[in-house]
């Protein structure tokens, strides 16, 4: 990537990361201190944690589509202002209902799709996948930092302090969008990175993608439900002060990452994605059962937490890759938008349903609920088709190629290239979206269609 693209990658990754950091930082502490707010119950505590997922899921696709019409920056800056307003309301709150309102407003700043579309506008077609991967890595990093920073920041500034910092991060992100990120020369819908209204039905009628959406919904339901009760158990069973919870989170996150990486490599390199997907879901079930029946024992609690995050880290990394494999070559961006909305709905259900179960049945009930949900996911995943290990590419068609043939003939010629498995041509953009089998691809023949690298 060139210098401009690196600047865009760094700026938008920072915007994405600090926004998610602000949303995640209350996870490890809120359930411990919610009872200091008037009107609190376990259900309302869970609702406060998860409510942002509902508004995020409902508004993400509409705001992404709106950014195609009125511009990326106005939508992103407007979303960040709403997010900052929600943080302000939560920082000043003295009741659980005001926290819920603040978190709901935070979720209404649903800028994920518009941010991805802006990144695509400012990146050359052949480097777009690299840009998206760079932004994606920042999300995982922000989650890990939030789990460590949340308890430390709470010890220093209290619950309100977390929301004040979150508001400051939102305002900093607005400055980045306004001054560090260039204005795109042209705004267009990107089939690989943006959401297209005409493709929503196509993505929603794909059985494999529906199972993937159910999977990410359940994964984030379980994760959110767990964080309603795990901080309390670390305090009660491991006898750790909240400010010291990072001493558990940091080594578990690092060790689980080290253990998940070989699984990711085997899944992709040796084409064992489906088997390892099923194995990772079984790890979730085992972890939740260990947590349900042994949460009064420090060793069982920590072991269950570690096993959970081994499975979680693998699934977080591999699921977007599977969505890309199952989606049509020209509908990947739309499929990812729906997938992301399902993820946020899972966060909402994990908070609200987990809080309700915690109120009625306690910590063990939450873990049993999570195990049952993972078991449902395991059943759904057995019917997933074996994915094809094809790579997506974007070919900027050379003018000479366009002038020499009609679009149908160009489509057929591209399909005739050894290793090319799927082709979709967007005539008005002079682009061809292709899926290729890299082991068989005649790369030189594909490059011949493009003046730029294919």
**What digits encode the pLDDT tens for the residues 333-391?**
899 999 999 999 999 999 999 999 999 999 999 999 999 999 999 999 998 999 888 88
Q: Which residues contact 449 (CB under 8 A, 6 or more apart)?
A: 395, 397, 398, 401, 410, 413, 414, 432
Map out the domains of the chain with their CATH numbers: 1-185 (1.20.1250.20), 196-389 (1.20.1250.20), 391-447 (3.30.70.100)
Give the DSSP H or E segment for 396.
strand 391-396
Q: Which residues contact 161 (CB under 8 A, 6 or more apart)?
A: 91, 153, 154
Give the separation between CA 72 and CA 52, rounded to whole angstroms.
Answer: 22
Return the structure tokens found at 145: 């930092």
Give the separation between CA 169 and CA 161, rounded to whole angstroms.
Answer: 12
Residue 431 confidence (pLDDT): 86
Give the separation between CA 24 and CA 42, rounded to whole angstroms.
Answer: 19
Residue 427 confidence (pLDDT): 81
User: Which residues is 397 bridged to in the sheet?
Assistant: 450
451 three-class SS: coil
Low-confidence stretches of the chain (pLDDT beneath 50): 453-454
Residue 452 confidence (pLDDT): 53
Q: Which residues contact 399 (CB under 8 A, 6 or more apart)?
A: 430, 451
């Amino acid at each position: 990537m060139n210098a401009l693209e690196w600047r865009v990658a760094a700026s938008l990754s920072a915007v994405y990361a600090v926004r998610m950091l602000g949303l995640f930082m209350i996870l490890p502490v809120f359930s411990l201190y919610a009872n200091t707010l008037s009107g609190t119950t376990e259900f309302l505590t869970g609702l406060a944690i998860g409510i942002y997922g509902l508004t995020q899921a409902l508004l993400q696709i509409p705001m992404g589509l709106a950014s195609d019409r009125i511009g990326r920056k106005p939508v992103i800056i407007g979303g960040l202002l709403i997010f900052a307003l929600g943080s302000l309301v939560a920082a000043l709150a003295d009741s659980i209902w005001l926290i819920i309102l603040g978190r709901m407003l935070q979720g209404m700043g649903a800028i994920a799709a518009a941010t991805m579309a802006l990144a695509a506008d400012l990146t050359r077609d052949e480097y777009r996948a690299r840009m998206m991967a760079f932004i994606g890595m920042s999300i995982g990093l922000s989650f890990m930092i939030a789990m460590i920073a949340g308890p430390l920041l709470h010890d220093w500034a209290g619950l309100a302090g977390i929301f004040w910092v979150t508001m400051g991060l939102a305002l900093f992100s607005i400055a980045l969008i306004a001054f560090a990120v260039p204005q795109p020369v042209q705004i267009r819908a990107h089939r690989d990175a943006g959401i297209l209204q005409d493709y929503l039905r196509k993505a929603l009628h794909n059985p494999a993608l529906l199972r993937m959406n159910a999977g990410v919904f359940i994964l984030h339901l379980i994760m959110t439900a767990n964080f309603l009760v795990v901080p309390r158990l670390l305090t009660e069973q491991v006898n750790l002060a909240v400010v010291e919870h990072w001493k558990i989170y940091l080594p578990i996150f690092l060790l689980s990452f080290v253990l998940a990486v070989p699984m990711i490599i085997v899944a992709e390199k040796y084409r064992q994605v489906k088997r390892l997907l099923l194995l990772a879901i079984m790890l979730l079930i085992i972890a939740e059962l260990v947590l349900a029946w042994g949460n009064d024992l420090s060793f069982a609690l920590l072991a269950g937490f570690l096993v959970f995050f081994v499975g979680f880290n693998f699934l977080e990394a591999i699921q977007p890759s599977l969505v890309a494999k199952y989606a049509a070559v020209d509908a990947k961006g739309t499929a990812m938008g729906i997938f992301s909305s399902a993820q946020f709905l899972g966060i909402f259900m994990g908070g609200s349903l987990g809080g309700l179960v915690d109120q009625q049945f306690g910590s063990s009930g939450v873990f049993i609920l999570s195990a049952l949900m993972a078991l449902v996911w395991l059943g759904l995943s057995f019917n997933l088709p074996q994915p094809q290990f094809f790579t997506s590419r974007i070919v900027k068609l050379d003018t000479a190629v366009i002038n020499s043939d009609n679009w149908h003939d160009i489509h057929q010629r591209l399909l005739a290239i050894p290793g090319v498995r799927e082709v979709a041509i967007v005539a008005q953009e002079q682009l061809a979206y292709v899926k290729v089998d890299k082991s068989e691809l005649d790369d030189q023949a594909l490059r011949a269609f493009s003046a730029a690298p294919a």
